[in-house]
Each structure stands twice: as structure tokens, then as C-alpha cells.
Amino acid sequence: MCQHTVPATMKAAVVPEAGKAIEIKDVRVKRPEELAPGECLLKMICTGVCHTDLHAALGDWPVPAKTPLIGGHEGVGIIVAIGANTGNSPVKIGDRVGVKWLANSCLNCEQCKKGREQNCEHAELSGFTVDGTFSEYVVSYTNHVTPIPEALDSYAAASILCAGVTTYRAIKYSQTSLGDWIVLPGAGGGLGHLAVQYARVRGLRPIAIDSGEEKRKLCMELGAEAFIDFKECKDIVAEVKRITGGAGAHSAVVTTASSSGYTQAVDYLRPGGTLMAVGLPGKAGLEASIFFTVFKSISILGSYVGNRQDAYEALDIAARGQVVCKYIMKDLQALTSVYDGMQQGAVAGRIVLKF
């Protein structure tokens, strides 16, 4: 069913094949009558840009994206059509909803039943295995789009759908308690600046690691207790221990896409500390002293985006004004230059593309 006139074509940012330049071109819009049961068609308002989108375009991950590809997985839009014979849909036409990295999962396997639907063997990934949000219309799935709270504006909500959910879940499972110290490498970036705030919401004491005056100012404004510039600090481990009174931090959530953010974490964590691995370097390994990992009872946990409940909680916190997404708005045509800025590490906060 559909109550909206859907055009025959739309503008989209297409990766023709891995490593090739992005093409902004007209592509066909799936017709409402062609939607399968459980599918929905969204008219997009905006979409965030994530490092994962850059990796998908470059094709530098061990798991390749499908091509040609419309990337993007942080989209907010209005549902304009739902596939015929869709039963018990949790959303309806006219709803403002978000499209996340996890586009769809079976909901019946062991991983889904345990709340790890992102690890479903049959998972579909927005802007990776299925076309994503860098387009004026998007096909997604009624069981997995996320309703956006009325109090949250669409442009802020976009980045919460991935960067926010991802950091929120990592902090939620970081084995920390009220008043604990948490180190956030990459704190001035898209994920990191949200991590600083979610850490504060949970009563933690964030130590931000990044570089440059702009990122230092951003992190401190958002609630970091201390900022370490990794380009200027000669001994990050010693500095973390100094800030924490000598014992080291209770946890670290590494959001940077560089392997260097992981290297020293085991050294600056106190005994019983937890390293949450979040950022996804394409080919780097995780280097850690086995001896001191065991000797200090360190936990190393991978945290991969979040499930539907994590998304609900992360958006609710933002809707109540406890987390604010710092973003710069650009047009879809600016995507190539945005990627260039990401590769140079020059983007503070988040970039959101409007339609």
C-alpha cells in the first residue's frame, strides 16, 4: 500500500566497484507494488556518513561489500509504502524511522534469540550487502527500522543510529561502575564524541585521546575530564596512569579505525580492566601482551554495533537531551570530499547529508 507518488528514478551515490570513484547518478526506484512482505520504502530526509561507508567504498575489509553499491547506513526518512501482505508491522506509513547498519535479520536463530541479531548468519547490512541510505529513497525492513522519538531532530538522529548505538552498547557492556575511569581513543571523531557523552550519562569519568585543538575543545565541552593529544604526548600509558592516580583506567572503548589506538590499552588498564574493541581497521591485528593480559585479569571484548533495543535506548537518551550529536550538514554531492577528510583524520564530530 502507498499514499505517496513515488518517482521513477532518484539521485544516489553509487560505488561502481571497490576502490572506484563515487558516481552521483539517477537510479531506478523500487515500485511500491514490487515490495516484498516485510519491506518498506522510505523517502529520505538525511543520512549520516560513517568510516564504515568509506571502507565499503574502498573495499579494504576482509569481508567485501557487494558492488555496484549504494552506501550509507545512518538514514532517517518517512515510510511511504509497505509491502503487501506484511503482517503485524510495528511501523506504518507516515512514520519517521531510521535505517541502521543491520538492515534485517531472521529473528529466529540462536544469535537473534539471544539479542545478538547483528551476528545473525542471515543478516543483511545497509550500504554493504544491500543498498543503503545515500539515495533519495531506500528500501528497508519493517521489523528493523527504528522509530525516531518526536523530540529528536532527524539530522541529530541520523548519527545516533550507528555511531550512537555502537558506542552506547560498548559502554553498556564495558564492565564499569559509577565513577570508574574510561579511556576513549578517537574521542574527537564521529563515534568518539558520542562515546564521551554516553560515558557521562552512565556516571563514568572519560579520558579522551585524539589530536588537535578543535578536537580537544570538543571533547572537553562534551564532558571529558582530561584530554591527551597523542601527537604531543610522549608516553600515553604514563599520562593515563597519572590522571587516574597511578592505578590506570577501568576500561577503554577504542573507537578509532587505526590499530594504534589498541596497542597501549592493556598497559594503561588497571587489573580487572576491560578493553572494548569497536573501531574496525581493515587489516590490522590486535597486539597485546599475553602475559600481562592474564597477569592483570584483563578482559578483551569485541562490540559490534547494537541490537534493536540498544537503538531504542540510545535514541531515547538523545531525545531527552543527555547526548547531543555535533554534526555538519552537507549535500549528497559532497560525499567524495567528506571521504577525503575522513582519510586525513580532519573531521571533528559527524557529517550528515541532507536530501
Report pLDDT digits (tens) over 12-53: 999 999 989 999 999 999 999 999 999 999 999 999 998 889
**Is pLDDT above 70 for 1?**
no
Is residue 39 included in any domain, yes or no? yes
pLDDT of residue 3: 66
Return the higher-pLDDT residue of 282 and 181. Answer: 181
Residue 100 and residue 240 share a domain: no
Rounded Cα gap, residues 328 and 318, in angstroms = 17
**For residue 268, what pLDDT is reported?**
95
Tell me, what's the pLDDT at 280? 77
Same domain, 17 and 120: yes
User: Is 148 found in the same domain as 230?
Assistant: no
Q: Does residue 146 surpass a pLDDT of 70? A: yes
Spatial contact of 172 and 310, defined as CB atoms under 8 Å apart = yes
* Cα four-point dihedral sign 221, 259, 302, 243: negative
Q: Does 274 share its domain with 314? A: no
Report the distance separating Cα 329 and Cα 47, nearest Å: 10
CA angle 28, 79, 330 (to 5 degrees): 70
Residue 167 resides in a domain = no
Tell me if 4 is assigned to some domain. no
Residues 210 and 152 in one domain: no
What does the pLDDT look like over 105-133, one tens digit per residue?
999 999 999 999 999 999 999 999 999 99
Q: What percentage of residues in the chain have a pLDDT greater than 90?
A: 83
By percentage, how much of the chain surpasses pLDDT 70?
A: 98
184, containing H or E segment: strand 181-185
Say whether both 18 and 154 belong to one domain.
yes
Count of domains observed in the chain: 2
Domain identity same for 77 and 144: yes
Task: Give the CATH number of the domain where residue 152 resides.
Answer: 3.90.180.10
Question: What's the chain's average pLDDT?
Answer: 93
What pLDDT score does 345 carry? Answer: 72
What CATH number did the domain enclosing 178 receive? 3.40.50.720
Does residue 168 sit within a domain? no
Owning domain of residue 272? 174-302
| pLDDT attached to residue 197 | 97
What is the secondary structure of 65-84 as a DSSP string? PPSSEE----EEEEEEEE-T
pLDDT at 337 over 80: yes
* For residue 103, pLDDT beyond 60: yes
Average pLDDT over residues 233-253: 97
Element (H, E) at 32: none
Residue length of the chain: 355
